A and B are shown apart, each in its own frame.
Chain A
Amino acid sequence: MSAEKQIWVWADYRNYFHSRVTLQILARATELAKANDAVVCAVVFGDHVDEYVAEYIAHGAKKVYVTDDPFLKTYNVESYAFLLSALVRRFRPEILLVGATRFGQEIAPRVARQLNTGLTADCIDLDIDDQGRLVQTAPSFGGNLIAKIITPQARPQMATIRPGTFQELPHDDDASGEVIPVPLPGNMPAPRVRCLTSELKPVRARKIETADIVITGGRGMGSKGKFKKLFDLAELINAEVGATRPVVYAGWVSHESLVGQAGKHIRPKLLFSFGVSGAIQHTAALADARFIVAVNKNPNATMMKLADVALVADANQACSGIIRAVKERIRH
């Protein structure tokens, strides 16, 4: 057990090229460690994970706890949670951070419950306050409410971090770190959940939740046939298409495209919104859109007030106009 304060980052490497959330958290942890006089550590479980260990050191980890064992070859939430809890009990880090991937959001709550400590989900910011406590900033209601949460007594202070929140540090080949191998404990319970198959299968090329450009359409598009025009534009500008509830229930597009409280939350760099009035169920899900272009015949529609640029026009005609403009302006 070390007297030094440690900030742990659980290493989620399974979908490494797709999700770089672990590297992003390491970067933020490095900042927090300065404020808190702590040491940034990564915790890696798996089978033959040397490469990942080196990668985490190059991205800011000063120490890496590694349990390298064939038993850990596939992600198993029960075994991983048991092991992570055991390591925390032994080494007592101040802070334990996990990427808010789906697996991360499965393992973190179980570890928190085993350790009887608090956990804040899907944080969009982390800070250290003047008492040295971790201030966890988490959104709710699709970003319409933000809560600042602390874990005053229980340790470690745990949070899952939304991917894409922080910038990873540049890869530093010269960085050095200490590797601490931890053998698999003898009392590992047999997993009760059996994984029959697990295949890498990305949902289409890109998902609407993570797309850089999203086009949403509402009833203002006019009809199912006219709504298809949005897909033409989407193909042209490499975007995903989302829809409001009335459009989905009218059967113009599948439920998969629903953007809203009961559907997908999006956070694009650029959002085109066509003929959307802006009911709160819908707008709650796009609070994180960075730049919004809205088209509506009614300049007073809520969606128009949320827009950076609002075009007072028929959604359909504007869509055609934009398609034409992109075709004219694109440089090949």
Chain B
Amino acid sequence: MDFNPCMKHQLIRKTVKEFAENEIRHRAAEMDQGPGFPQDLLEKMKPLHYFGLQTPTHLGGAGLDTISYAIVVEEISRVSAALGLCITVHNSVGIYPILRFGTREQQRQFVPPMAAGESIGAFCLTEANAGSDAGGVETVARKTDHGFVLNGTKIFVTNGGICGTILVFAVSDTDPSQSSVFIVENHTPGFSVGEIEDLCGMRANPVASLFFEDCAIPADHCLGKVGQGLKIGLTALDTGRIGIAAQALGIAQAAFEESVAYAKSRQQFKQPISRFQTIQNYLADMAVQIDASRLLLYRAAALKDKGRPFSAEAAMAKLHCSTTARMVTNLAVQIHGGYGYSKEYDVERYFRDAKVTEIYEGTSEIQRMVIARDILTRPV
């Protein structure tokens, strides 16, 4: 067992770090005034494959493995979690389900523009009465002679304000137990974007409600087979969890680095506060949890790359990374004292950004459920 990253993963990290430090870091605080990302920044990211991380090269992507993918999301999130969110959602729950379940024709039609960053992906499941419980979904798909007509409202859709290709989870109008995922393009009549949410964190990401009013789509815009909705949704979430875990890890790492630097330079009682045991304990706890998070994350990613089951491991990674992000950013603010509560310092933003990682792509409670179910169904 080798715990050192291979040279490829090391180079991926340096590559992304260089771009993130040069092009994103100095704009992150301004982006946080939100919502939306600077167009020129997105333009720079497009040819570098940030929008086609795991998309195969013949569809215009980078063809990265999952560990590389996790590293990319971590490093982008380390400077801007909101942009990291855009990237991970677009790649994992926007593109990946089409790659996994789409027909060859659907892949050919939808994936290249997405991988090129020309069409941003979104996945919408959550509704006013349906979150962790997908059974509560009320968006309906009515079968017609030409295809389907969608009606319903989705809320808290990440990338909602800028999405071009939307995967919509909906139930059949005749049989509410039958769910499917439909591909809707943003120019489809009947589709509209609601107000951008005024959120606590991730403020650069235009999270929004999406409306579908008699939104007619052709039959071949049903992803995979009719009735595969739940399967696609759960697979998307498994993959999405790796991305959110990586995002949470990036936030934690950033908060940790700032804390170490601050603790070394901040003087109180005529010495750097890093000399105080309390601060040392904080830093040690942060380091341990971040390291543990990273190992859990890479294990889940490696399992996925090997084609082995990774659902429970992804849930563990997501649970631990997001808990760590909340804990580490909280301590980071504490270490910074009053400055940490001020927008002058980035840890304030990290603190706000971290919380939601415990909520979206399956709350921490849901992750525990997934993990427990895995434990209890294992042969003794």
Whether chain A touches chain B in the assembled complex (some CB pair under 8 Å): yes
Binding site for B on A (CB under 8 A): 219, 245-247, 249-250, 297, 300-302
Within 8 Å CB of A247, what residues of B?
A: 26
Checking A249, A300, A301, A302 against B26 with a beta-carbon cut-off of 8 angstroms, the contacting residue is A249
Closest-by-CB residue of B relative to A244 is B26
Rounded to whole angstroms, the CA-CA distance of A300 and B263 in the bound complex is 10
Closest-by-CB residue of A relative to B272 is A300
- Do A302 and B265 have beta carbons less than 8 Å apart? yes
Q: Return the 9 tightest CB-CB contacts between A and B, nearest first.
A: A300-B265, A246-B26, A249-B22, A250-B26, A300-B266, A219-B26, A249-B23, A249-B26, A246-B25
B142 contacts the other chain (CB 8 A): no
- Do A245 and B22 have beta carbons less than 8 Å apart? yes
Rounded to whole angstroms, the CA-CA distance of A301 and B265 in the bound complex is 7
Within 8 Å CB of B27, what residues of A?
A: 250
Rounded to whole angstroms, the CA-CA distance of A297 and B265 in the bound complex is 14
Closest-by-CB residue of B relative to A219 is B26
Within 8 Å CB of B344, what residues of A?
A: 297
B267 contacts the other chain (CB 8 A): yes
- Summed over the interface, the residue pairs from A and B with CB atoms below 8 Å come to a total of 17
Rounded to whole angstroms, the CA-CA distance of A302 and B344 in the bound complex is 17
Within 8 Å CB of B266, what residues of A?
A: 300
Contact with A along B255-273 (1 / 0, CB 8 A): 0000000100111000000
Rounded to whole angstroms, the CA-CA distance of A247 and B27 in the bound complex is 10
Rounded to whole angstroms, the CA-CA distance of A219 and B29 in the bound complex is 12
B340 → A minimal CB distance (Å): 13
Binding site for A on B (CB under 8 A): 22-23, 25-27, 262, 265-267, 344
A155 → B minimal CB distance (Å): 44
| Known pairs A246-B26, A247-B26 / 8 extra A-B pairs, C-beta < 8 Å | A219-B26, A249-B22, A249-B23, A249-B26, A250-B26, A250-B27, A297-B344, A300-B262
Subset of 6 A-B contacts with CB under 8 Å: A219-B26, A247-B26, A249-B22, A249-B23, A300-B266, A302-B265
Within 8 Å CB of B22, what residues of A?
A: 245, 249
Rounded to whole angstroms, the CA-CA distance of A300 and B344 in the bound complex is 14
Rounded to whole angstroms, the CA-CA distance of A300 and B337 in the bound complex is 14
B11 → A minimal CB distance (Å): 19
Within 8 Å CB of B265, what residues of A?
A: 300-302
Within 8 Å CB of B25, what residues of A?
A: 246
Rounded to whole angstroms, the CA-CA distance of A245 and B262 in the bound complex is 21
A300 → B minimal CB distance (Å): 4
- Do B23 and A300 have beta carbons less than 8 Å apart? no
Within 8 Å CB of A297, what residues of B?
A: 344
B24 → A minimal CB distance (Å): 10
Closest-by-CB residue of B relative to A281 is B21
Rounded to whole angstroms, the CA-CA distance of A148 and B27 in the bound complex is 43
Rounded to whole angstroms, the CA-CA distance of A301 and B267 in the bound complex is 12
B349 → A minimal CB distance (Å): 15
- Residue among B22, B23, B26, B267 with the most chain A CB within 10 A? B26
Closest-by-CB residue of B relative to A279 is B21
Rounded to whole angstroms, the CA-CA distance of A300 and B273 in the bound complex is 12
Within 8 Å CB of B267, what residues of A?
A: 300
Rounded to whole angstroms, the CA-CA distance of A22 and B25 in the bound complex is 46
A225 → B minimal CB distance (Å): 14
Rounded to whole angstroms, the CA-CA distance of A300 and B25 in the bound complex is 20
Rounded to whole angstroms, the CA-CA distance of A250 and B22 in the bound complex is 8
Rounded to whole angstroms, the CA-CA distance of A93 and B170 in the bound complex is 89
Closest-by-CB residue of B relative to A247 is B26
Rounded to whole angstroms, the CA-CA distance of A300 and B26 in the bound complex is 20
Closest-by-CB residue of A relative to B264 is A300
Within 8 Å CB of A301, what residues of B?
A: 265
B344 → A minimal CB distance (Å): 7
B166 → A minimal CB distance (Å): 33
Rounded to whole angstroms, the CA-CA distance of A279 and B18 in the bound complex is 15
Within 8 Å CB of A250, what residues of B?
A: 26-27
Within 8 Å CB of B23, what residues of A?
A: 249
Rounded to whole angstroms, the CA-CA distance of A88 and B22 in the bound complex is 49
- Residue among A247, A297, A300 with the most chain B CB within 10 A? A300
Rounded to whole angstroms, the CA-CA distance of A292 and B130 in the bound complex is 61
A33 → B minimal CB distance (Å): 49
Within 8 Å CB of A246, what residues of B?
A: 25-26
Within 8 Å CB of A245, what residues of B?
A: 22
Rounded to whole angstroms, the CA-CA distance of A185 and B18 in the bound complex is 53
Closest-by-CB residue of B relative to A250 is B26
Rounded to whole angstroms, the CA-CA distance of A249 and B22 in the bound complex is 6
B146 → A minimal CB distance (Å): 49
Within 8 Å CB of B262, what residues of A?
A: 300
B30 → A minimal CB distance (Å): 9
Rounded to whole angstroms, the CA-CA distance of A246 and B26 in the bound complex is 6
A167 → B minimal CB distance (Å): 39
B21 → A minimal CB distance (Å): 8
A274 → B minimal CB distance (Å): 16
Closest-by-CB residue of B relative to A299 is B267
A152 → B minimal CB distance (Å): 38
Rounded to whole angstroms, the CA-CA distance of A301 and B262 in the bound complex is 9
Rounded to whole angstroms, the CA-CA distance of A332 and B247 in the bound complex is 60
Closest-by-CB residue of B relative to A302 is B265
B37 → A minimal CB distance (Å): 15
Closest-by-CB residue of A relative to B265 is A300
Rounded to whole angstroms, the CA-CA distance of A302 and B23 in the bound complex is 22
B149 → A minimal CB distance (Å): 47
Rounded to whole angstroms, the CA-CA distance of A10 and B53 in the bound complex is 57
B189 → A minimal CB distance (Å): 40
Within 8 Å CB of A219, what residues of B?
A: 26
Rounded to whole angstroms, the CA-CA distance of A297 and B345 in the bound complex is 11
Within 8 Å CB of A300, what residues of B?
A: 262, 265-267
Rounded to whole angstroms, the CA-CA distance of A204 and B25 in the bound complex is 32
Closest-by-CB residue of A relative to B266 is A300
Closest-by-CB residue of A relative to B262 is A300
Within 8 Å CB of A249, what residues of B?
A: 22-23, 26
Rounded to whole angstroms, the CA-CA distance of A301 and B264 in the bound complex is 11
